[in-house]
Structure 1
Amino acid sequence: MRADKRPQSCDVTVYSDKGSLALRFPKRHNPLWEQLDGKSLNGKPKCLGIGKYGYKDNPEDWKRAAQLAIALEADLDHPEWEKLFDPTLAKYGLGGGKYSKLADVLQLPGAKQPEPEITAGEMWEAYLEWKKTVVEETTFKDAFKMMSNALHGKVWHRKTGKHFQSEVNLSTIRLDNKAEILIAVKAIKIYRKTYFLNELNRAFEFCKTKGMLVNPTTENPFVLDNFSTPAVTTQQKYASKIVNGEEKEWHEVLDEKELENDRRAFTKEERDIIVKAFYESSQTGINQYAPLIEFYFLTGCRTSEALALTWKDVDFERNLIRFSKSLGVTTKKIKETKTGEVRFFYFSNNSRLKDLLLNLKDKSSNNLVFPSKTGKYHSQSSIGKKWLGSKHPRILSDGTEIEYYYPGIVRQLADEGKISGYLPQYHTRHTYITLTAHANKHDNNALLYIATACGNSVDVILRHYLGVSEKTGIVEV
């Protein structure tokens, strides 16, 4: 069978014979290999297989083999080759064969055991030290803590409320053990796994750039293509879809993002039904959230912005609210608004919003506009539970585990048919913008004010809230 060869960049050549890749060394290296092998090469060049991951049909394996060839030649031809060349071949990712124990018996000048490659855990910790300086504290505490747990094989058990150690611990695997890393990553189950893989990929490149890898030829085992599956398969892409009860071919269906726009909103009547239900609820602790929910509907502010609001941010003389900060979801620390901008929201003297704020101010002895019962910040999770509902596991006296579900106000209203459907709490923002924009759609100044007050743009309001078409008849002048 004829050997397969490809263009080479050094004298140590890569070739394929019988489906596997190997290296062929120039004859000037024969004296060394004859000493290592303990026999004569009879004038023939030394050939060395690169292991089970060297397949001729894999372009990545050819690339890896070429890198090994360059690294080996650089060490062997260096004036101080005795200090650089590793006779065990572990430095080049080829350890484990018959050469793995040679360093114990050969007394080559300068020969020493190579350092092992760093582990995925060591790589990750170094990356986190840098990452925490460039991302929001909330993001770091939420997302990266979850990813760290996944890396170390810690799995959350919802019923016990604790983590347990799984058999898969990616953090202990060395970066040059590509096969084990592939197996471990595939076994990890984590929310937004692609995000996790992207961060692992960045972590490897970060450590490589900082010179932290023991072996410069170690390949990145976290290349996304090795793990990812298409978000939409070919079968799904070209499958027919049901639209308004009618089956349509894929090419007849509008973009799904347009069909199911994230900026859906409640009607004005539904808004008032929801607010009233919060005020009149007989459930313990629900009505304390009523003013907050009403405030969301009347300002369109983001959830975390209202939680951080203090009375210093409300100016009753000029009738304005200053949104300059927000509350970190998990850190409970004050940070900038999402856009990093300070916004002013104006209200009129006889407005429903001013009445709400004055009523709260009269009863308040706290610096916060919307304090919890303990006088501290509300948590977004508690708001979500009152809005959507919550599940609570219980263990009966006989040991049986059951789960109770307590529907939230809006979920219950939707189930009872009192509103047309359920939408998450964030849609209070979309409801305010939608209702106000439609009520002022012929007033350009009003639309500009809405965009500025809500941290949006007129373009977004026109396109996504008012549905203004891009096609229009231009009067030529």
Structure 2
Amino acid sequence: MTSQTKESKSPKGTVQVKSSNERLQLVFRVCGKRYYLSTGFIDSVANRKVAMAKAQLIELDILSGNFDPTLAKYKPEALLAKVTPPITPVVEEVAPSLVDLWESYTEFRRPGLSPSTLAKDYKKVARCINVHLPVNTLDKAVVIRNWLNANRSPDASKRMLTQLSACCDWAVKSELIKENPFENMASDIKLPKGSREDNDINPFSIEERDRIIAGFQNSARYKYYAPFIEFLFITGCRPSEAVALQWKHISNDFRTIRFEQAVVVSESGLVCKKGLKTQKKRTFPINERLAALLKSIKPSGACSDTKVFPSREGTWIDTRNLNTRGWTAVIEELDGIEYKKLYQTRHTFITLALRNGMDVKDVAKLVGNSPEIIYRHYAGQSREIIVPNF
């Protein structure tokens, strides 16, 4: 048993020795309930050794079934004969910190969360609590709110406070704390219109699209990814959906594609998960150009589970790495084309489809969005507004 830092996570059944308000504290979980026991000792080398000895005793009792849930057996009076702390120790149940609460909340929510949500959203909150916030105790909720407002965008600040409030609501229901200090804080933040990343629609023109595809085809280093880039442009699917395609999802007559899974970032790396961002699955009709592309890249002897677009190593393509390296490098070589993220391939397909007369509902069905989203974010940008002579 060793003391834990903020970033570490102890195995179940381990008693952690932590420093809270410059006093040593024992933190552990038994039968799903989390315990916090203050030793009353200041954080010194000698006192930490005694606290660690007490932690080992608790661990042994847990393993042997002799754990005392009242904690009376473990309160520090028996330690006073061995170590005299500089002040009289006070035995009390110490309120958990945000670090502890978020860790427990994450474990509670983990079974129902997708790998990408855990890796992106929940890990981001944990890092903010552990690394960035100036304080992480519940009695400093106002300080935390003010710091977020001063150091984060309104959208990021609102999302962070929403997450902290949800965590504390759960903690109240779990009888870990008495009240939620972050309640209603997020609702006080008003977001300016157009601030969300969903509105970042800046499509390429047809000429730019074709030049980018040709740029990959002519690139000595990134030619391998040319079919993948062309596929994104002519289907409008999300990159995560294209990466997850296997040949079982392409009909044998090359008439339809079945999107039903996506490759996402998890805590352990890239993983393939069933279902899509906004739906379980969707079918995409294959036109002549797309059929020719797929036929040209299908390897002989491909089985149903063979990836349609594997990485050079045969694993899932890491689109974040591709966006940073290959995508950026190819566009930089093309004069007159402004850099835009890889995801703009999707925006380009949707915008060009609308400009070429496709019905909004049909476009929404092809790309897995609702007609409302297409109307709100694309329809107004897909046509030129002409002011008549009055």
Shorter-chain TM band: 0.5 to 0.7
Distance 1:207 1:457, change over 3 A: closer
Counterpart amino acid of residue 349 in structure 2: Y
In structure 2, distance between residues paired with 1:278 and 1:373 = 15
- Compute the displacement of 1:448 (Å): 4.2
Counterpart amino acid of residue 294 in structure 2: L
Q: Which of the residues 434, 438, 457 maps onto 2:351?
A: 434
Is residue 270–residue 316 contact of structure 2 (8 Å, CA) maintained in 1?
yes
User: What is the aligned partner in structure 1 of residue 286 from structure 2?
Assistant: 347
Kindly report which structure 2 residues correspond to 1:196-235, keeping only aligned pairs within 5 A, or say none: 196-213=160-177, 216=178, 219-223=179-183, 225=185
Q: Deviations over 1:430-463 (max 9, x none)?
A: 211222232234xx5xx54433221134454456
In structure 2, distance between residues paired with 1:458 and 1:230 = 26
Is residue 274–residue 410 contact of structure 1 (8 Å, CA) maintained in 2?
yes
In structure 2, distance between residues paired with 1:459 and 1:190 = 30
Q: Deviations over 1:156-214 (max 9, x none)?
A: xxxxxxxxxx9x562xx4x3xx24x554665676783432222122211211112122x
- Compute the displacement of 1:221 (Å): 3.3
Does residue 409 of structure 1 match 2:330?
Answer: yes
Which one has a bigger Cα radius of gyration? Answer: 1
In structure 2, distance between residues paired with 1:134 and 1:371 = 29
Does residue 334 of structure 1 match 2:251?
Answer: no
Q: Which of the residues 341, 344, 352 maps onto 1:424?
A: 341
Q: Which of the residues 119, 123, 126 maps onto 2:101?
A: 123
Say which is worse superposed, 138-147 or 113-122, in terms of deviation: 113-122
Q: Deviations over 1:202-231 (max 9, x none)?
A: 211211112122xx3xx5333464998765
The SS at the match of 1:333 is strand
Kindly report which structure 2 residues correspond to 1:65-144, keeping only aligned pairs within 5 A, or say none: 114-144=92-122
Q: Deviations over 1:359-383 (max 9, x none)?
A: 1004685700000111110112122
Kindly report which structure 2 residues correspond to 1:145-224, keeping only aligned pairs within 5 A, or say none: 145-153=123-131, 168=134, 170=136, 173=137, 175=138, 178-179=139-140, 182-183=142-143, 192-213=156-177, 216=178, 219-223=179-183
Does residue 371 of structure 1 match 2:310?
Answer: yes
User: What is the aligned partner in structure 1 of residue 325 from structure 2?
Assistant: 386
5+ unaligned residues in a row in structure 1: which ranges?
1-100, 105-111, 156-165, 233-254, 390-407, 470-477
Distance 1:231 1:465, change over 3 A: closer
Q: Deviations over 1:224-264 (max 9, x none)?
A: 649987655xxxxxxxxxxxxxxxxxxxxxx7689x95333
In structure 2, distance between residues paired with 1:387 and 1:434 = 24
The SS at the match of 1:332 is strand
Counterpart amino acid of residue 251 in structure 2: D
Distance 1:257 1:144, change over 3 A: closer
Is residue 313–residue 321 contact of structure 1 (8 Å, CA) maintained in 2?
yes
Does residue 455 of structure 1 match 2:372?
Answer: no
In structure 2, distance between residues paired with 1:187 and 1:456 = 36
In structure 2, distance between residues paired with 1:225 and 1:424 = 33
In structure 2, distance between residues paired with 1:304 and 1:136 = 14
Percent of paired sites with the same residue = 29
Is residue 231–residue 290 contact of structure 2 (8 Å, CA) maintained in 1?
yes
In structure 1, distance between residues paired with 2:215 and 2:229 = 11
Q: Which of the residues 340, 358, 369 maps onto 2:295?
A: 358
5+ unaligned residues in a row in structure 2: which ranges?
1-86, 384-390
Is residue 279–residue 368 contact of structure 2 (8 Å, CA) maintained in 1?
no
Does residue 277 of structure 1 match 2:255?
Answer: no
- Compute the displacement of 1:312 (Å): 0.6
The SS at the match of 1:345 is strand
Distance 1:224 1:422, change over 3 A: farther
- Compute the displacement of 1:132 (Å): 1.6
Does residue 324 of structure 1 match 2:257?
Answer: no
Distance 1:265 1:120, change over 3 A: closer
The SS at the match of 1:143 is helix
User: What is the aligned partner in structure 2 of residue 294 from structure 1?
Assistant: 230
Is residue 247–residue 302 contact of structure 2 (8 Å, CA) maintained in 1?
no
Does residue 305 of structure 1 match 2:241?
Answer: yes
In structure 1, distance between residues paired with 2:189 and 2:354 = 41
Q: Deviations over 1:301-330 (max 9, x none)?
A: 111000000011111415111111111124
Q: Deviations over 1:55-84 (max 9, x none)?
A: xxxxxxxxxxxxxxxxxxxxxxxxxxxxxx
In structure 1, distance between residues paired with 2:187 and 2:203 = 38
The SS at the match of 2:321 is helix
Distance 1:145 1:364, change over 3 A: farther
Is residue 387–residue 411 contact of structure 1 (8 Å, CA) maintained in 2?
no
Counterpart amino acid of residue 166 in structure 2: R
- Structure scoring higher RCO (CA < 8 A, sep ≥ 6) equals 2
**Cα RMSD over matched residues?**
3.5
Is residue 329–residue 380 contact of structure 1 (8 Å, CA) maintained in 2?
no
